[in-house]
């Protein structure tokens, strides 16, 4: 049974979401402050954290920053409707996904299922053999990757994207195909999640000797993992 931690100071909403997720088969704990989330991440005590951005004392962005210094536990952010800055900031800092409030329990449960599915197993239909693309080594079986012999600290979402790029190294692959292969769903209009996550993976891979990013962006078409 996957353990989910809900962090939100809206007790009524948290209770509603907790009851729904429990019925869906999750072991659910709740908290009203960032310290609870940070402590759980430090102990590896949960499989996923649902974190509201608008929190008292320490907001969700600050909490996420501290969590990512300790753990790569999946984090699903709850954001205000239309607040693109917070969404992009959260994704840049390593959030796996976001849901806008007010949200239905069904929508939240669907996002939780999708994130945990990506975190717990290789992408659908993917082989578990080791992938090699230049100095990049990807292990789909345990969802880890190395660059030049050094482990890469990747969130579950970042790993899923990198795996798709590694399987198609040197080839241009559209964002629509990336979304379908990495997440099992089509890309929706104006959705920038892939762009933001790719930006984070780029930083972790560093630059080529010629100063170019190792993940090339082709405007209006998609992305390509360049081989050294």
Look-up of token digits 């880890």? 144
Q: In what order do the strands lie in the sheet with 150-151?
A: 131-133, 136-139, 144-147, 150-151
Delimit the CATH 1.10.10.10 region(s) of the chain.
131-225
Per-residue model confidence as pLDDT tens digits over 12-71? 999 999 999 999 999 999 999 999 999 999 999 999 999 999 888 899 999 999 999 999
pLDDT at 60: 92
Look-up of token digits 């990506």? 118
Tell me the whole-structure pTM to 2 decimals.
Answer: 0.70
Look-up of token digits 């509603």? 16
Delimit the CATH 3.40.50.2300 region(s) of the chain.
3-120
Topology annotation, domain 3-120: Rossmann fold (3.40.50)
Per-residue model confidence as pLDDT tens digits over 114-173? 899 877 765 444 455 789 998 999 998 888 999 999 999 998 889 999 999 999 999 999
Of 208, 193, 199, nearest to 136 by C-alpha is 208
The DSSP bridge partners found for residue 42 are none
Q: Which CATH architecture has domain 131-225?
A: Orthogonal Bundle (1.10)
Ramachandran quadrant class, 2 (left: phi over 0; alpha: psi -120 to 50; beta: rest): beta
- Whether residue 35 contacts residue 43, with contact meaning beta carbons closer than 8 Å, is answered with no
């Amino acid at each position: 049974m996957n353990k989910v931690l809900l962090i939100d100071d809206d007790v009524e909403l948290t209770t509603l979401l907790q009851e729904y997720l429990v019925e869906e088969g999750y072991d659910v704990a709740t908290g009203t402050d960032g310290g609870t989330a940070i402590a759980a991440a430090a102990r590896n005590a949960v499989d996923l954290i649902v974190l509201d951005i608008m929190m008292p004392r320490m907001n969700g962005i600050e909490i996420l920053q501290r969590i990512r210094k300790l753990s790569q536990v999946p984090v699903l952010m709850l954001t205000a409707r239309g607040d693109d800055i917070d969404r992009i900031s959260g994704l840049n800092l390593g959030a796996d996904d976001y849901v806008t409030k007010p949200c239905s329990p069904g929508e939240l449960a669907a996002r939780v299922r999708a994130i945990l599915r990506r975190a717990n197993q290789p992408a659908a239909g993917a082989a578990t053999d080791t992938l090699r693309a230049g100095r990049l080594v990807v292990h789909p079986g345990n969802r880890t990757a190395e660059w030049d012999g050094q482990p890469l600290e990747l969130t579950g979402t970042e790993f899923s994207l990198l795996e798709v790029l590694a399987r198609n190294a040197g080839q241009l692959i559209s964002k629509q195909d990336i979304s379908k292969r990495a997440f099992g769903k089509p890309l929706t209009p104006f959705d920038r999640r892939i762009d933001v996550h790719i930006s984070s993976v780029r930083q972790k891979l560093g630059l080529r000797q010629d100063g170019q990013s190792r993940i090339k962006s082709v405007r209006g078409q998609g992305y390509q993992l360049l081989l050294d």
